[in-house]
Structure formats: structure tokens, C-alpha cells
Amino acid sequence: MNEAIPNVEKERVTVYVDGFNLYFGMLEAGYHNCKWLNLKALALSLLKPNQELHSINYFTSRVSNNPSKQRRQTAYIEALETEDIHMFYGHYQKDSIVCKHCAHFWPKYNEKMTDVNIATQMLIDAYQDKYDMAMLISGDSDLVPPIKAIHENFKQKRVFVAFPPNRYNNSVELVAKGSLIIGRKKLLDNQFPEKVKKKDGYTLKKPETWS
């Protein structure tokens, strides 16, 4: 007589991706051919057998100062949406830098609100019991307080950090309940195909400069 196999519930994982932190980490590491990254495939490759993927949240800001960059970013965001990844947008804010010697002004663009949006959503999802483990893909030290708040207020939940290339942060690792650094091979192994078909039939193509 066969014994019944116990039904062990898997740990529910929700992923929170700091888009700019990941993007610029790859650039600084020289991983220019990794930008066409399938985040769902990457997330699944990071899970253990006792875990299941619940959802992926991607946090970014729309580039507004460069038409070619805008087109590439739009193509990538639409590729991510084919995997049912949820988008959260901050602001791409224009500031000015002034030369102290000649008083010349030139524009500088900064991403705003991503860390606040990530912190807010992680806490909301913890309160609504949408995960057992939050996987944070970021090395931003501004996220230390919300990580600590989740561990202090939701004792059965934990935040695991997957650091992008060149974004390891000791203060983040210290408050996380587990961490790793995403390597180049892991990024290369989880790229979208050159062409990605949207649900409406339109075909997205990998930007030529990303090859």
C-alpha cells in the first residue's frame, strides 16, 4: 500500500526590481549585452524547489530627454509586459548643474521616487499577505528602513536581496534574510529572444545597440 505524500506548501515569492539600479549596475560592470533581460526567467532561475513565484513588480521612470533612449526603453517595458510583470513609475526629473567658474548651466536628469515606491509596495503586500518572501533586486541603501520594518512587523515574512552587478551594499545585506549577487552568466542565460511577440500580435525587436 502506497503511503500518501504530504502536501507541503511552497514559500510564496514576490519580486521587486529596481529598474535603474539593475540597468546601471550592468552598465558599470560592462555587461552591455545583457540589457534585453527577461526578468521572469531570471526570477524563476533564482528560486529554490520549495518556492513558487507569485508576481514580479518592476519600478522605473520614463526617460524623457532622448528619443532613441525612449524608444529602447519602451520596447523593453513592452517586452516585460508580455510576461505579466507589473509596472510602477516614478519621475524622471530635470535638474541643472552650474559651473562655479564660468556660471554655465547644463541639464542633469535624475530618477525620483523609485525607492519610495518599492518601500510602499513591499509594505502593502506584506500587510495584504501577498508573499512569504520578498525578493528585492536592488542595492539601494535607502531600502534598509523598509526591510527592517517588514522583519519587525511581519515575523513570518522575510526579505531576500539579489544584488545587481556592481551594486553590492553591506548595509543592505546586514538587514536582509539572505542574499546573493547576480552574475553575468545568470543574466546571459535569461535573455529574451531577439523578437518578442505581444498579445496583440505586434513583434518587438531587441534594440540593435543592445547586442
Query: What confidence tens digit (pLDDT) does each residue in 180-193 have?
Result: 999 999 999 999 99
What are the tens digits of pLDDT across the range 63-100? 887 899 999 999 999 999 999 999 999 865 555 445 55
Which residues is 137 bridged to in the sheet?
17
Report the candidate in 34, 39, 1, 44 with the shortest Cα–Cα distance to residue 17.
39
DSSP letter assigned to residue 166:
T
Note the pLDDT of residue 65. Answer: 77
DSSP letter assigned to residue 6:
P
| Separation CA 161–CA 149 (nearest Å) | 15
Q: Which of 18-22, 28-32, 41-45, 93-97 bottoms out in mean pLDDT, i.e. has the lowest?
A: 93-97
Percent of the chain with pLDDT over 70: 86
Task: Report if pTM > 0.85.
Answer: yes
Q: What CATH number is given for 11-206 in this structure? A: 3.40.50.1010
What are the tens digits of pLDDT across the range 135-187? 999 999 999 999 999 999 999 999 999 999 999 999 999 999 999 999 999 99
**Are 60 and 90 spatial neighbours (Cβ–Cβ below 8 Å)?**
yes
| Separation CA 187–CA 162 (nearest Å) | 12
Domain ranges of the chain: 11-206
